[in-house]
Structure formats: C-alpha cells, structure tokens
Structure 1
Amino acid sequence: MNLRKSVFSGSWYPADARACEDQIKDFLEEGKDRSTSLPGPVGGIVPHAGWYFSGSIACNVIHQVAKATTPDVVVVFGMHMHSSSPRVIMPEGEWETPFGPLAVETALADEITRQYDFQLESPTRFNQDNTIELQMPFIRYFFKDVKVVAMGVPPTQETLALAESVVEISRNLNLSIAVIGSTDLTHYGPNYGFTSKGHGAKAVDWVRNENDRSVIDAMIRMDAQAVLREGQKKSNACCCGAAAAAITAGRALGAEKAEELIYATSYDKSPGDSFVGYVGILF
C-alpha cells in the first residue's frame, strides 16, 4: 500500500529492468558525443514523451546531473497545469520503477506542504501523470541511494516563490538537492488543434526555428519569468510552470549559466502533420 504503481511502464518505457537498462545504455551511446562546459550542473529541464521519442534526451540530461552531484534528494517539477490548477504532491510513500522503488523524502515534503497548500496524493490515489513518472527510472538508475520529492506546479508567480522555498527548506534540513523540470515544447498539428502555420516542411521549420527556439532561448538565459510568458502566450512549453520552477530553484542553488544539450522533435522519428518538440537543458 506504500508503493505508487507505475502506470506507463510496459508502454511508454520498458517494464523489465534488463530491457530498461539496455535502453538506457543505448541512450548513453547516442549521447556520448554530447558534453557540457558547465563545471557542475545542479539540475536541468527534460522532456516526457514515450522513451522512443524523447527518452534519450531526458536520459542524457539526468546522467550529466548525476555525474556532477550526489544529492540526498532529486526534486522533480512537472504535470500539465494551467494557472488556476492546484499544486499537487505525494508527500509520502514510494514510486515504483523497473529498478526498484524510489522513496519520497518525507521531511522535505512535510515542510513544503506545511508552508504551501497542495492537493495531496497517496500511493493508491493519484493522477495518472507521465511528466514525472517517465523520469523516475532514470533517477533510480543514476542516483543509487537518492530520495525524491515530485510535485505538480502551475504557471504562476507563486510557483517561483515555492521553488526558492524548496531550496531554502532543503538547506535548513541539511539536505542537498538536484532539480529537474519536466516539459515538452510545441505540440503542433491537427491532433493538438494548432495549425496556424499550415502543414509540411514550413510548419516544421517554424516550430523548430521560431516557436520552440523562443522558449529555449529563455531557458538558456535562465529567465523564469520569460519561460512562463512564452508557454502561456505561444504554447511552446506544455509545462512551463515546471520548467520555470526548475530554473528558479537552479538559480537558488547557485547556477548562473544554462546550456542546451539536445533538441529534437517527434517529426524526426515519425514524420507527420502532428508533432512535438523536445529539449534537454542543463544548468
């Protein structure tokens, strides 16, 4: 009853530990020529589509963070939310992964929920959410003894204050943390009701070089306010609150620079009129 069962294993990513590890090794091989000039990343931004489409990006970002730091807790910001959505958190229990369970850091979660209002989930009663679950196998694999605190955050100013508080609270508890923000970028095409630039190569180029690039540039500047504006006005970050929270927490942890590690779209693997953008950012 204390284990939050995975929802997307066996479909969006492998359910078997051996198959999961084989996939991760393939992802690392794909990213072997991708490096960062940052001396010690404390976090990043990752996509959350099925591993076939964006797993390599998320895997290589989280791997780079794990190579640079050994935190007590990985804090994950995610969930598809609008500005009036309630904040969501599971303050206790464990997350199921193919590599074994990931425990919640209850001391940190308890203090966060003492200071901020949240809709509380439990291991047996929760929203089915891919944005966070898709990262948990990577975290469990690369951070061997880490605990997690994962929360859904809306695209609001209070989310940025929360992100700063998470860092302050963790310091007060003598807990070191790394932070991950989970978001995909532009969802374009008839499947998503977004066809303002038509179809074909022209639409793909616009998404890649204009709409996605605009929010990626804001992420690289570590401008959390701009990320919120971009996502809400241009629909180029489906979880802009999560990305902005990760950036804000990263700054509070001392990060001063960010880098783009990888960018891709689902069109690259499955060309069609409907496609999604993905980016991996380190800071």
Structure 2
Amino acid sequence: MKKIRPPHVAGYFYPADPIKLKTDIQKMLEAAKTDASFNKIVGIVSPHAGYMYSGQTAAYAYNMLKGKNYKTAIVISPSHAEYFPGISVYDGDAYETPLGVVEIDEEKANKLVEGGKLIFRGIQGHRREHALEVQIPFLQSVLSDFKIVPVVMGDQSRTFVDELANKLAEIIDDKTLIVASSDLSHFYDARTADILDSIVAKRINEFDYEQLQRDLDSHKCEACGGGPIVTMLKAAALNNYNKAKVLKRTDSGDVTGDKSEVVGYLSAVVYD
C-alpha cells in the first residue's frame, strides 16, 4: 500500500493510545447494550463529535453490527474543513487509526465514481475531516475482515444527494453497510435543540427522507450530515429497505451538565 491516510484527530477526538482506545470503545459498547436486534441492517446513523460527548450515543448503533458479516463499510461524511462542489471518494489505499489500517474497497470505490461527473476519486475533504475518521475505530471494534469506501460530501444539496444515492443503490448488497456520519443542531439551548432534533428523529423513524430533505432545506431542523442521512435512506429505499429506528438521542449537555448551549446527537439503524 502506497497511500495511507493517517489519523488526524487521534489524541483529540478519541484516544491515540490503541489500548486505551480499544478499552474505551468496549466500555461504551457494554453500556449501550439493549434487547433490540435487527437481522438485515443496511445502514446506521452515527454522530461524530469527540467520543467523550457522542461516543456513547454512537455505541448504540455499532452494537447492532456485532456478529454481522459485512465485507464493505461505505462511510459518508460531511466536509467541515473545506468546501468543494462534488463528492470525494478517497483515492488512496487505506485509512489508518491507532487500531490499525483498513484497506479501501477499490472495486466498489471505482464503481461509485464510474460514469458520473459529481462523484470522483480524490483527496479533497479527506485531509483533516474528523467526521469520517471517528467512525472507523468503532467499525474496527465490531467488524472483522472488512474494507471501507470513505466518502466526503463537499456539497450536500439535493442534486448531489440524489446522484450519490442512485450510485450507492447500484453497488450495495447484503454484505455492504452504509454509515451516515452526522451530528444534529449546534449551540442552541437544550429545549430549542430538542424541538429541532426531534424533527430529524421523527423523519428517520418514519423513513421519510423526502420530507427530511425538505425540512433541512427550509431550516425546520438541522443536521451537519443531513446529506449523508438522506442519501443513505434513499439508497436503502431503492434496494427495498423501508424501515428505520432511532436507537438513542442525546445532547452534549448530558455530559457537560451545561444545557445553555448544546450539540445534538442521535444513532439510528436502517433495516429490512
């Protein structure tokens, strides 16, 4: 492997020490155990703040993947650090975290960009993006023998969402998982955040991605990874998946105790 994307936020968003990282994730997974189970999961929504704030919420979704035999995880992230008019699929060989190296699924990555103008192989969006990186140690903790397709949406408007959803629908199968990386509203008081975030949760639970897109467009709700969420739901629908369930919804104030200005998080599962 010649081109490996190194960890950028290890030691900041999550522990850089592999033993502590592994231990912390296992503790979060243990604390997030529920009686819920889903046989055919095609995708999850997972938040992407520092593990201290949103890792416990993410663990509810990742617990649902234990024991499942995915060969490819397509991780879709917003772009926080740079804007570009397109969707960037990492053009290297692998992503690295303190838990090791995860190879890129070259076949699926190339099929995703085949014949399109909006999706391309590149480095754009991947240099410093935390929202994609923080998902990988969780994947490494619950799956084995898998590859990834790291996707960063430089533009989350409807045209790009539709293009990516249609292309994903062509390449996913029962051995493929989609991870939509998203936080919810930012820096409102907890009561206001709850009103906004409950709309996102409602649309996910209703599997109503069209209305979610409209609500995001009209600012009735907020999600920094709204594009990845809608994309995943639409791609799932095109493959005859039609159910989704929010597993956990929290905000940063649940950890800090400060409810005057919070960031919202949720984890969810998309299944048949």
Q: TM-score range by the shorter chain?
A: 0.7 to 0.9
SS at match of 2:75: strand
Higher fraction of strand: 2
Within 5 Å, give how 1:1-283 maps onto structure 2. Answer: 1-32=2-33, 34-67=34-67, 69-80=68-79, 85-117=85-117, 118-122=119-123, 126-153=126-153, 154-170=156-172, 176-189=175-188, 203-208=189-194, 210-232=195-217, 233-270=219-256, 271-283=258-270
The structure-2 alpha-carbon separation of the partners of 1:253 and 1:100, relative to structure 1 and needing over 3 Å to count, comes to farther
Q: In the superposition, relative to structure 1, how do residues 97 and 269 fare at CA in structure 2: closer, same or farther (>3 Å)? A: same
CA distance in 1, matches of 2:187, 2:231: 24
Asked if the contact 2:169/2:239 (under 8 Å) is kept, the reply is yes
Asked if the contact 1:43–1:65 (Cα under 8 Å) also holds between the matched residues in 2, the reply is no
Return closer, same or farther for 1:248/1:281 CA change in 2, 3 Å cut-off. Answer: same
Cα distance in 1 between the residues matched to 2:150 and 2:66: 17
Distance change (3 Å), C-alpha of 1:137 and 1:129? same
- Partners of 1:80 and 1:242 in 2: CA distance: 11
Q: Deviations over 1:56-112 (max 9, x none)?
A: 222331231343x31211111111379983211103311001221011101111121
Contact 1:48 1:54 in 2 (8 A): yes
Displacement of 1:162 in angstroms is 2.2
Opposite residue 92 of structure 1, the aligned amino acid is G
Matches of 1:273 and 1:6 in 2, distance apart?
32
Query: How high is the sequence identity, in percent, across the aligned residues?
Result: 22
For residue 106 of structure 2, what is the amino acid of its counterpart? Answer: T
Aligned to 1:197: none
In structure 1, list runs of 5 or more residues that go unmatched: 190-202
CA shift, 1:43, in A, is: 1.4
Indicate conservation of the 8 Å contact 1:91/1:106, yes or no.
Answer: no
Indicate the SS of the match to 1:48: coil
Structure-2-length-normalised TM-score: 0.88
Once the 2 structures are TM-superposed, how far is the Cα of residue 37 of structure 1 from its aligned partner? Answer: 4.9
RMSD over aligned Cα, in angstroms?
2.4
Task: Supply the distance in 2 between the matched residues of 1:136 and 1:267 (Cα, whole angstroms).
Answer: 25
- Report the secondary structure of 1:258's partner residue: strand
Given that 2:246 and 2:268 are in contact with CA atoms closer than 8 Å, whether structure 1 keeps it comes out as yes
Q: What is the distance in 2 between the residues matched to 1:162 and 1:83?
A: 17
CA shift for structure 1 position 158: 3.9
What SS is found at the alignment partner of 2:263? Answer: strand
Structure 1 distance, partners of 2:225, 2:99, is 27
Give the distance between the partners of 1:160 and 1:275, measured in 2 at CA.
Answer: 31
Matches of 1:249 and 1:56, distance apart in 2:
27
SS of the residue aligned with 2:44? strand
Q: CA–CA distance in 1 between the matches of 2:158 and 2:30?
A: 38
Q: Distance in 2 between matches of 1:5 and 1:127?
A: 9
CA contact 2:190–2:259 (8 Å) conserved in 1 = no
Checking the alignment, whether the CA contact within 8 Å between 1:95 and 1:101 is kept in structure 2 is: yes
